[in-house]
Amino acid sequence: MKLEQNDKPLLFSETIIPDIFFSEYLSALPGDYLKIYLYIIFLSKYGKDIKLNDLSKKLNIPLKSINDGLKFLEENKLITKKTNGYIITDLQEFTLHNLYTPNLTMSKEKLEQNSKNKSRSKAIEHINNMYFQGIMGPSWYNDIDLWFRKFGFDEQVMIALFDYCYKRSALHKNYVQTVAEAWSSNNVKTWNDLDKYSEKQENLSKFKKTIAKKLGKYNGLTQYEEAYIENWVLNFRYNMDIIEIALKRTTFKQNPTFEYINNTITDWHDRNLKTPEEVNAFLEQRKKQDKNTKNLKEQVNKANYDQRKYDNLDFLYANSNKKED
């Protein structure tokens, strides 16, 4: 891998990183990928070929992570792959181009609408000051404007979106957009919508914790197990009273699986059982049917046994008559 050359000797050389990197890209870079990026910026000044194995040893990062890191940097436009190596992106020029190009296609009506939207401007200013210490990167403005238009959020919801991501130490664009899409898919647009959605998610979280505790899953649930629970609660609209009936029935099974519980609850839903009373009545009815079936089998078996016994006596009786003859 060949990097561009810088003529200054090491002792007097400096590695300059534009501020736009800190405001736009830093939060999205995993630790090892950040080390790779900074080191190849440093190396780009000396024009020497460097092998990926050497890079792995120098940074004490596994070779696979080196390859994954370079791919990540390329996908995020921080570097560009060429035939004989990579070129490091000029972030200032790249950001300016992205900011300038959309403005060329922005209509006069749009500009007037934006200038009049004081409440939206105040929301963006609040986001800048509260979550970016007043130095929010320029491209964030375009992204926030896009999210306002795409998802139809009001100003309170947009601020809440950044507050949610900030508190989870995940204030980078991919994560913010993922959360925004999740909210939008649940019809969140106003503060009241968000309040209802948050309450629903909080209740769902309590369900998951309660079920995990009752099943002794102290290391937490898998993604698939959580999906099962979400289906029971959100789609089947079952409460804990019904779900607990299914959980208790696992005591009759040896090594019951989560799939067994899901099949049980799904069967109740397919039978249109909506309350604990209906579920218990169905189970009681099935218990009686199983008991009747068992009694019937016992009677049939007894009848077969008696018939065989009778047949054997006839056989012996017939044989004894033959001997007398």
Q: What's the average model confidence in pLDDT over 58-81?
A: 88
Reported as a single tens digit per residue, the pLDDT across 19-33 is 878 877 887 888 888
| Model pLDDT, residue 100 | 55
Where does the pLDDT of residue 246 fall: very low under 50, low under 70, confident under 90, or very high at 90 and above? Answer: very high
| Model pLDDT, residue 108 | 43
Instruction: Report the distance separating Cα 148 and Cα 156, nearest Å.
Output: 11
Could you tell me which residue, 113 or 81, shows the higher pLDDT?
Answer: 81
Instruction: Report the distance separating Cα 11 and Cα 76, nearest Å.
Output: 32
In the predicted structure, residue 138 carries a pLDDT above the cut 50: yes
| Model pLDDT, residue 308 | 61
Reported as a single tens digit per residue, the pLDDT across 170-196 is 888 889 999 999 999 999 999 999 999
Distances in Å between the Cα of 180 and the Cα atoms of 76, 159, 186, 187, 191 are: 20, 11, 10, 11, 14
Where does the pLDDT of residue 56 fall: very low under 50, low under 70, confident under 90, or very high at 90 and above? Answer: confident
Q: Which amino acid is at 171?
A: L
State phi, psi for 11 to the nearest 5 degrees: -60, -35
In the predicted structure, residue 225 carries a pLDDT above the cut 50: yes
Q: What contacts 114, CB < 8 A, 6 or more positions away?
A: 120, 121, 145
Q: Specify the range with the lowest mean pLDDT, choosing from 50-59, 126-135, 225-234.
A: 50-59
| Model pLDDT, residue 88 | 83
